[in-house]
């Protein structure tokens, strides 16, 4: 029943790596950004609340994302474990996650940090596109789709994320790197952190992440 937290700055490759790791482990990916984008797309009250914050690269309030994310984590498909992408992003969120898992005798089995220097990160956003249907991530320079403008996996249209404009990317970095350090420290303090070099090829990063899970993880379907 592995609960694995994937950590990294915006653009480090969490959205690319999470599905690869999830497939190997046989568990779903829960991506906080995707949950929020769905709320915005459906025009829910929560979506209207967070829309402007997301567009400007701010973190949404802990209370809002904790409620949304922990509700999703409580769904049956995550009972056998999950890869957490984009949550927790603050120390408060990490504490809320620990508390919810502890209620069912669970814990975060491993936190994996995809480490990429800041100079490399900003450049990555220029080429990033995602598919409109499933949020699958491509980079027009380093990881292009087989057919231009079309997702390899579900055939839907590839679009730029509304928050990938250059100013927003910079704001996102400034706002999010401090809290990320806090979360990294949280898991380091629990002796639960492994760091992987995120500047390698997609395949090499995927292999390192899987290897970093080690042998201690409890077995799950598909492993
Ligand atoms: P992402 O797709 O993970 O880059 O998230 C996109 C945006 O959603 C972020 O820039 C934040 O505005 C918001 N967001 C996603 N996850 C969280 C979180 N755990 N806490 C606060 N805000 C979040």
- Our answer to whether residue 128 is catalytic in this structure is yes
Q: What is the number of alpha carbons within 13 Å of residue 62 lying toward its C-beta? A: 11
Provide the b/e sequence for 116-137 (b: ≥16 CB within 10 Å): beeeebeebbeebbbbeeebbb
Q: Is 93 in the pocket of ligand 1 (CB under 6 A)?
A: yes
Q: Is 54 in the pocket of ligand 1 (CB under 6 A)?
A: yes
- Our answer to whether residue 170 is catalytic in this structure is no
For residue 197, the model assigns a pLDDT of: 98
For residue 154, the model assigns a pLDDT of: 96
Strand stretches in the chain, DSSP E:
3-7, 29-31, 82-85, 110-115, 128-131, 137-139, 158-159, 193-197
For residue 27, the model assigns a pLDDT of: 95
Q: Is 128 in the pocket of ligand 1 (CB under 6 A)?
A: no
Residue 194's alpha-carbon distances to 105, 135, 173, in angstroms, are 23, 26, 22
6, 15, 67, 86: residue to mutate for ligand 1 pocket, most atoms within 8 A of CB: 86
pTM for the predicted model, two decimal places: 0.86
Look up residue 66 and give its two tokens. 């904790």
> CA–CA separation, 9 vs 118, rounded Å?
8
> CA–CA separation, 65 vs 30, rounded Å?
12
For residue 107, the model assigns a pLDDT of: 94
Q: Is 36 in the pocket of ligand 1 (CB under 6 A)?
A: yes
Average pLDDT per 10 consecutive residues for the chain, totaling 223 residues: 91 95 95 95 96 91 96 94 97 97 93 92 86 92 93 96 84 89 97 96 96 67 41
Question: Phi and psi at residue 56, in whole multiples of 5°?
Answer: -95, 5
Residue 15 neighbours by CB under 8 Å, 6+ apart: 31, 33, 85, 130, 135, 137
Q: What is the spatial order of strands in the sheet that 158-159 belongs to?
A: 137-139, 128-131, 158-159
CB 152 within 8 A of CB 129: no
For residue 221, the model assigns a pLDDT of: 42
């Amino acid at each position: 029943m592995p609960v694995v937290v994937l950590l990294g700055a915006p653009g480090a490759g969490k959205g690319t790596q999470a599905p690869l790791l999830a497939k190997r482990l046989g568990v779903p990916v829960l991506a906080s950004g995707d949950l929020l984008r769905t709320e915005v797309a459906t025009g829910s009250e929560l979506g209207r609340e967070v829309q402007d914050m997301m567009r400007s690269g701010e973190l949404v309030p802990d209370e809002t994302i904790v409620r949304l994310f922990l509700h999703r984590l409580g769904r049956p498909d995550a009972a056998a474990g999950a890869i957490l992408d984009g949550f927790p992003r603050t120390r408060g969120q990490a504490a809320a996650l620990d508390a919810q898992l502890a209620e069912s005798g669970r814990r975060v089995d491993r936190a994996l940090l995809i480490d990429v220097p800041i100079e490399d990160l900003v450049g990555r956003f220029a080429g990033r596109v995602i598919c409109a249907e499933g949020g699958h991530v491509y980079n027009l320079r380093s990881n292009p789709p087989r057919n231009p403008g079309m997702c390899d996996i579900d055939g839907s249209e590839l679009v730029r994320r509304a928050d990938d404009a250059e100013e927003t990317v910079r704001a996102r970095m400034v706002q999010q790197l401090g809290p990320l350090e806090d979360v990294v420290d949280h898991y380091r303090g629990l002796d639960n952190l492994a760091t992987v070099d995120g500047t390698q090829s997609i395949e090499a990063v995927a292999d390192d992440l899987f290897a970093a899970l080690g042998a201690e993880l409890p077995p799950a379907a598909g492993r």
